[in-house]
């Protein structure tokens, strides 16, 4: 199944947002490992480091697996969609990326600021700079359906004259 | 010389290292293939294996490898002058850490994302996994001991920093409740947390916390009392679920790291401070010499074995293209080197006149015991260049170091608990298995005993053998790097490539480590420091074991390669 997912990864013709860029989904979830502060003297994250066995990060693991399922389904349903999975603690990448993506949505500054502020959470989904979910994600099927619907709407909206037909 | 020149020289050297040496490594040593299907693609599951943008991954990797150790080591090592310290940071980063971190990612990625512990068992020998476990055991013991002392020294010297350092705990807990229970967005709470923390800095100055009365009541020195209080805190903190304190503290630590780096470099540039430390400090013949001690005093910041755990643990599972390993591995090493540079700047250009510097670094004991204090003073001075009162700036630096050190101890005790359990199980000592309270107590008591061990060139002669513990810590960290470099060397050789780029730092590290261990052994014997002697002897045995394993594995691989051609 993983090979099947991978084989469809390279996108063909990608749908476009208003500013002509491809659609981009950012899935936010915490890695089941320590992120900072200890670094070169130890790091918790047992399954990754072979140190320890206790499920310290089982809560993050549950979200990782849920996001993983969404990712796999989306890869099949929307192979051309660019998807990034990012840890909310990676603030240097996450917030500038959301700010840049939201620029293509054609919305005002207030809207963009709201998306920016809501971008980081333990689990979330951000499509073309618009925060769809904060802190919780519905079932994988619901997320995939919702994103499919939004992509359809946006692509229709992005093609001049589409609404008139 | 203006300190700014040191920034230019170091970052320039890093740039050249990245531009040319990492290119050589990528093409000639690791032979990266942009079409290689990385584990992120081959095993793509969206959970552990996810093809990830290299900029995202660099952010994850760098924040995961950065900690307090690249501050402490350089802050001690400038005792021998700024030139040896910065030269080792540059050369270690370019020819050591870059090779090590980059190589660990590539080797792991070529082995379906297996971590370095598993790989050492597979590539070197089955015994190497046990060796890995034992090295980590000693490393964690020393980490917990040194950081316990680091925090105690800072709290005693800067009582105004106690309140802000302690207030991080409830702030992190509130963020934890908000993020994990209320499932809210984290940006505003983490900014509020950071602002509250910085507001607490002047409050701490107004209400400094001194525990002289308590120390007198229990009949111990102030520093010993602080050490015991800190270990008591660690015992409790390491029993809490990670989402309550450790994990939300990541949101504060990450911002702190960035703020600290920015203000230090900005302060140096704005203030145009001069380096007042000598290029080479001629030290007395009967004290520790830079050769070989420099190379184990600065481990993190030049080369650190623990990076291989991050590189092979999560990073290798997520690289999109094999060629991204250069940017992430080598780039992450340069980030850590920059942190070491910041510490060197603070301790060579931020302490005032040359005479002030000589007073602060009068002996190795003063240098090691006062290292963090010197860093804090230096950062305070740089912040004063930006219009912030030096005392408040110093408190800011203490809070940065203490939050990192506290997180390190929390992590270290947890990890030590797991490793003790694993060792007990391996040794057939079932009574310890599953006994969390007992295991935590043991994981706290052993480093506590080490932290309180008297003798040696202690912290300003106060009876703490901090400098000795630090060099032992550096030794074990370099051993972990040695193990990872052995794995990388054998793997490179197996691909019929010249492993010389990995073997040179490997041999260098093992030689310096062994030499320093022997010198320490003789010193502990002479001083009658039996506890340190046992520790040093055990690490020396592990070093000899590692050398035997590495040589055997390389020979086996060399014969295999020769037979195949």
Q: Is residue A55 part of a domain?
A: yes
DSSP structure class, residue A133: E
Q: Can you give the pLDDT at residue A7? A: 38
CB atoms within 10 A of CB B89: 30
Cβ contact B246–A119 (<8 Å): no
B70 touches chain A (CB under 8 A): yes
Which positions in chain B touch A50 (Cβ < 8 Å)? 115-118, 132
Q: CB-based contact (8 Å) between B37 and chain A? A: yes
- Among A36, A57, A118, the residue with its CB nearest the CB of B242 is A57
Between chain A and chain B, the number of residue pairs with CB atoms below 8 A apart is: 232
Please name the member of B66, B70, B313 whose beta carbon is closest to the beta carbon of A49.
Answer: B313
B443 touching chain A per CB within 8 A? no
| ipTM given for this complex | 0.87
Q: Which residue of A has its CA nearest to B419?
A: A52
Shortest CA gap B44–chain A (Å): 5
**Cross-strand partners of A28:** A86, A124
Specify if A82 maps to a domain.
yes
* Residue-number span of the structural domain to which A95 is assigned: 16-164
> Which residue in B has a C-alpha nearest to residue A96's C-alpha?
B56
A56 located within any domain: yes
Gap from B293 CA to chain A (nearest CA, Å): 19
Give B484-504 as a DSSP string: HHHHHHHHHHHTTS--HHHHH
- Partners of B142 on chain A (C-beta within 8 Å) are none
3-state helix/strand/coil string of A98-115 = HHHHHHCCCCCHHHHHHH
User: Which residue has tokens 């507001």?
Assistant: B199
Q: Is A145 an interface residue toward B (CB < 8 Å)?
A: no
In tens, the pLDDT along B361-405 reads 998 888 988 898 999 999 999 999 999 999 999 999 999 998 888
CATH number of the domain bearing residue A26: 3.40.30
Chain A residues near residue B134 by CB distance under 8 angstroms: none
Which one of B50, B116, B179 has the shortest CB-CB distance to A122?
B179
Which residues of chain A from 16 to 55 reach within 8 Å of chain B, CB to CB?
30-31, 33-54
The nearest CA of chain B is from the CA of A44 a distance in Å of 6
Nearest to B314 among A48, A50, A123 (CB): A48
Query: CB count, 10 Å around CB of A152?
Result: 11
- Judging contacts by C-beta atoms under 8 Å, the chain A residues touching residue B419 are 51-52
**Chain A touched by B23 (CB under 8 Å):** no
Contact criterion met (CB < 8 Å) for A48 and B477? no
Give the tokens for residue B172.
């992190």
* Interchain pair A135, B313: CB under 8 A: no
B307·A41 Cβ contact <8 A: no
Interface test with B, best of A28, A46, A50, A143 (most B CBs within 10 A): A50
Per-residue pLDDT of chain A (165 residues), as tens digits, is 344 344 333 333 344 455 556 899 999 999 888 877 666 666 776 566 566 555 788 888 899 999 999 999 999 999 999 999 999 999 889 999 999 999 988 889 999 999 999 999 999 999 999 999 999 999 999 999 999 999 998 877 765 544 443
- 258-277 of B, contacting A, C-beta below 8 A: 258
CB neighbour list of residue B138: distance below 8 Å, 6 or more residues apart: B476, B535, B538, B539, B542
CB A50 within 8 A of CB B115: yes
**Contacts of residue B69 in chain A, CB cutoff 8 Å?**
39-41
| Residue A10 falls inside a structural domain | no
Torsion angle of the four alpha carbons B529, B532, B536, B542, in this order, in degrees rounded to the nearest 10: 140
Q: Which of chain B's residues have a Cβ under 8 Å away from the Cβ of A135?
A: 179, 182-185
Residues of chain B scoring pLDDT < 50 = 456-463
Domain membership of residue A110 (yes or no) is yes
Ranges of H-type helices in B177-239:
187-206, 212-218, 222-237
A79 domain residue, yes or no: yes
Cβ–Cβ contact B139 with A under 8 A: yes
Look at A56 and B66 and tell me if their CB atoms are within 8 Å.
Answer: no
Is residue A9 included in any domain, yes or no? no
Contact (CB<8Å) A31/B241: no
Q: How many domains does chain A have?
A: 1
Q: Give the separation between CA B7 and CA A148, rounded to whole angstroms.
A: 50
Q: Is A117 on the interface with B (CB under 8 A)?
A: yes
pLDDT tens-digit readout, B401-434: 988 888 889 988 988 888 888 888 888 888 888 8
The answer to the question of residue A1 being in a domain is no
Q: Which of B491, B472, B506, B479 is nearest to B100 (CA)?
A: B506
- Contact of B478 with chain A, judged by CB distance below 8 Å, is answered with no
Number of helices (H) and strands (E) in chain A: give both, helices first: 6, 4
Distance between A57 CA and the closest CA of chain B, angstroms: 7
Query: Residue B255's pLDDT is what?
Result: 83
Residues of A with CB below 8 A from B117's CB? 49-51
Cβ contacts of B255 on chain A, cutoff 8 Å? 91
DSSP track, B286-340: TS--HHHHHHHHS-TTT--TTHHHHIIIIIHHHBSSTTHHIIIIIHHHHHHHHHH
pLDDT of residue B487: 94
A-chain residues near B310 (CB < 8 A): 39, 43, 49
State whether residue B138 sits within 8 Å of chain A by CB.
no
């Amino acid at each position: 199944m993983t090979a099947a997912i991978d084989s469809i990864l390279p996108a063909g013709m990608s749908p476009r947002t208003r500013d002509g860029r491809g659609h981009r989904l950012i899935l936010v979830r915490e890695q089941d490992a320590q992120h900072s502060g200890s670094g070169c003297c130890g790091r918790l994250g047992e399954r990754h480091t072979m140190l320890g066995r206790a499920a310290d990060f089982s809560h993050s693991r549950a979200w990782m697996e849920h996001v993983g399922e969404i990712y796999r389904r989306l890869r099949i349903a929307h192979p051309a969609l660019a998807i990034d999975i990012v840890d909310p603690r990676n603030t240097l990448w996450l917030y500038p990326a959301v700010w840049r993506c939201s620029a293509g949505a054609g919305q005002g500054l207030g809207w963009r600021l709201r998306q920016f502020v809501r971008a980081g959470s333990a689990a979330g989904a951000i499509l073309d700079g618009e925060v769809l979910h904060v802190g919780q994600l519905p079932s994988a099927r619901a997320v995939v359906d919702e994103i499919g619907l939004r992509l359809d709407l946006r692509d229709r909206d992005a093609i001049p004259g589409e609404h008139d037909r | 010389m203006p300190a700014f020149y040191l920034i230019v020289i170091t970052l320039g050297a890093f740039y050249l290292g990245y531009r040319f040496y990492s290119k050589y490594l990528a093409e000639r040593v690791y032979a990266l293939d942009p079409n290689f299907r990385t584990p992120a693609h081959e095993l793509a599951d969206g959970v552990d294996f996810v093809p990830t943008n290299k900029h995202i991954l660099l952010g994850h990797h760098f924040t995961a490898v950065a900690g307090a150790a690249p501050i402490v080591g350089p802050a001690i090592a400038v005792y021998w002058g700024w030139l040896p310290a910065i030269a080792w940071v540059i050369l270690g980063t370019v020819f050591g850490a870059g090779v090590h971190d980059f190589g660990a990612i590539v080797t792991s990625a070529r082995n379906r994302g297996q971590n370095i512990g598993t790989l050492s068992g597979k590539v070197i020998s089955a015994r190497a996994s046990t060796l890995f476990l034992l090295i980590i055991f000693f490393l964690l013991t020393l980490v917990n001991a040194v950081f316990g002392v680091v925090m105690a020294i800072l709290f005693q010297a800067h009582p105004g920093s106690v309140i802000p350092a302690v207030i991080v705990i409830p702030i992190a807990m509130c963020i934890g409740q908000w993020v994990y229970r209320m499932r809210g967005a984290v940006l505003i709470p983490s900014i509020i947390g950071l602002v509250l923390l910085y507001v607490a800095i002047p409050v701490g100055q107004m209400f400094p916390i001194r525990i002289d009365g308590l120390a007198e009541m229990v009949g111990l020195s102030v520093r010993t009392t602080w050490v015991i209080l800190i270990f008591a805190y660690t015992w409790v903190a390491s029993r809490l679920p990670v989402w309550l304190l450790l994990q939300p503290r990541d949101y504060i630590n990450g911002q702190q790291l960035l703020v600290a780096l920015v203000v230090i470099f900005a302060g140096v540039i704005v203030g145009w401070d001069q380096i007042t430390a000598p290029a080479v400090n001629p030290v007395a013949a009967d004290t520790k010499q830079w050769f070989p001690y420099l190379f184990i005093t600065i481990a993190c910041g030049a080369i650190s074995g623990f990076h291989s755990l991050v590189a092979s643990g999560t990073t290798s599972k997520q690289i999109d293209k094999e060629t991204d390993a250069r940017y992430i591995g080598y780039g992450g090493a340069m980030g850590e080197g920059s942190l070491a540079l910041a510490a060197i700047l603070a301790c060579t250009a931020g302490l005032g006149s040359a005479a002030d510097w000589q007073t602060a670094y009068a002996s190795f004991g003063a240098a090691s015991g006062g290292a963090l204090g010197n860093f804090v003073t230096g950062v305070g001075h740089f912040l004063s260049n930006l219009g912030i009162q030096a005392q408040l700036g110093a408190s800011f630096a203490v809070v940065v170091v203490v939050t990192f050190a506290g997180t390190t101890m929390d992590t270290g005790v947890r990890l030590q608990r797991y490793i003790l359990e694993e060792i007990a199980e391996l040794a057939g000592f079932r009574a310890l298995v599953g006994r969390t309270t007992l295991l935590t107590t043991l994981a706290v008591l052993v480093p506590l005993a080490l932290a309180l061990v008297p003798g040696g060139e202690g912290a300003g002669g106060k009876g703490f053998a901090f400098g000795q513990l630090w060099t032992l810590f550096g030794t074990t960290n370099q051993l972990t790097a040695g193990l990872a470099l052995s794995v990388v060397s054998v793997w490179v050789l197996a691909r019929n490539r010249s492993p010389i780029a990995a073997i040179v730092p490997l041999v260098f590290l093992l030689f310096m480590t062994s030499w320093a261990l022997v010198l320490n052994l003789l010193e502990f014997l002479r001083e009658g420091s039996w506890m340190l002697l046992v520790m040093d002897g055990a690490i020396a045995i592990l070093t000899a074991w590692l050398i035997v394993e590495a040589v055997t594995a390389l020979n086996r691989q060399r014969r295999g390669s020769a037979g195949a051609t």
